[in-house]
């Protein structure tokens, strides 16, 4: 090839220099990519995700919590006429029978009640919200949710709860569990629901009580809540342990 320092190049010389440079840059990038990928694969897994990727997810979490999260920033609300019944999706922790009359909500760490019945919850102001549940599998549905605000519930039955940084919710049998940051739990659209689309909650949608939390992906909308625990330490999360983002914010 011609002298690389030469400045007054013919079009052919210019083209050949560009092509050569692109080839070199592309080759280095590809090699770095392959090396980077092998390196990534050699790193320890952190909750089923290579640790460096987990760091990126955590970086995203810090960024969205700091930059976007606010209780005045609402998920979109829709007209009631657009509400539909979503398919029932995910049945982890729902296999055994639970009679509404036998069901109790166990409360841990909120400094208030230790057990509630569905009647205790229904005594709080009923709140409705029509918003979209978004599943990580790629579908979404607009639902009219009915129940009580988590924030109303916490202030009434777990007065020390909102000063903890985290909340953990579990099915009665402990098989499905979600962890939430307290800001998302206390968001005004986060509801403990006993109705969907004006009807009592169906069993496969989480009767007698499930969570609707439109600031999070569907995975955090736990069905059939058996216990709510307020805690200082970041709790385990079912899908967080299986490779999904712990925060799962929208
Ligand atoms: N107990 C329990 N809750 C759960 C799940 C589950 O498997 N078990 N799946 C979650 C997922 S991935 C989604 S998308 C929503 C779906 O809610 P739906 O069945 O009312 O549509 O429930 C969430 N809550
Ligand atoms: Mo989902």
CA 214 / ligand 2 centre spacing (Å): 12
The count of other CB atoms within 10 Å of the CB of residue 38 is 9
| Region at 90 (left for phi over 0; alpha for psi -120 to 50; beta for the rest) | left
pLDDT along the chain (250 residues), means of 10: 60 56 47 53 65 73 74 92 97 91 96 97 98 97 98 98 98 98 98 98 97 98 98 98 96
Task: Name the residue with the closest Cα to ligand 1, atom 19.
Answer: 88
Pocket test for ligand 1, best of 175, 218, 240, 241 (most atoms within 8 A of CB): 218
Residue with tokens 């709860």: 161
- At 66 the pLDDT is 67
What is the pTM for the complete model shown? 0.80
* Distance between first and last Cα of the chain: 53
Regarding the beta carbon of 89 and ligand 1, being less than 6 Å apart is answered yes
Residue with tokens 């490779």: 243
Listed residues: CB within 5 A of ion ligand 2: 135, 218
Atom from ligand 1 closest to the CA of residue 90: 7
């Amino acid at each position: 090839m011609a002298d690389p320092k030469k400045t007054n190049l013919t079009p052919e010389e210019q083209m050949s220099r560009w092509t050569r440079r692109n080839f070199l840059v592309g080759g280095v990038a590809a090699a770095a990519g392959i090396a980077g990928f092998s390196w990534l694969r050699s790193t320890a897994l952190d909750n089923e995700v290579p640790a460096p990727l987990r760091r990126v997810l955590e970086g995203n979490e810090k960024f969205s919590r700091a930059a976007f999260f606010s209780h005045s920033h609402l998920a979109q609300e829709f007209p009631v006429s657009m509400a539909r019944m979503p398919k029932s999706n995910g049945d982890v922790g729902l296999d055994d029978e639970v009679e509404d009359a036998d069901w109790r909500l166990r409360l841990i760490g909120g400094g208030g009640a230790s057990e509630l019945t569905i009647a205790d919850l229904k005594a709080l102001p009923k709140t409705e919200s029509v918003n979209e549940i978004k599943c990580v599998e790629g579908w979404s549905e607009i639902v009219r949710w009915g129940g009580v605000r988590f924030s109303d519930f916490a202030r009434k039955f777990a007065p020390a709860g909102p000063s903890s940084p985290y909340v953990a919710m579990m099915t009665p049998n402990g098989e499905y569990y979600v962890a939430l940051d307290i800001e998302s739990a206390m968001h005004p659209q986060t509801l403990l629901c006993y109705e969907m689309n004006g009807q009592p909650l169906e069993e496969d949608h989480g009767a007698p009580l499930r969570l609707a939390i439109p600031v999070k992906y569907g995975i955090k909308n736990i069905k059939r809540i058996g216990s709510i625990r307020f805690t200082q330490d970041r709790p385990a999360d079912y899908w967080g342990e299986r490779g999904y983002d712990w925060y799962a914010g929208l």
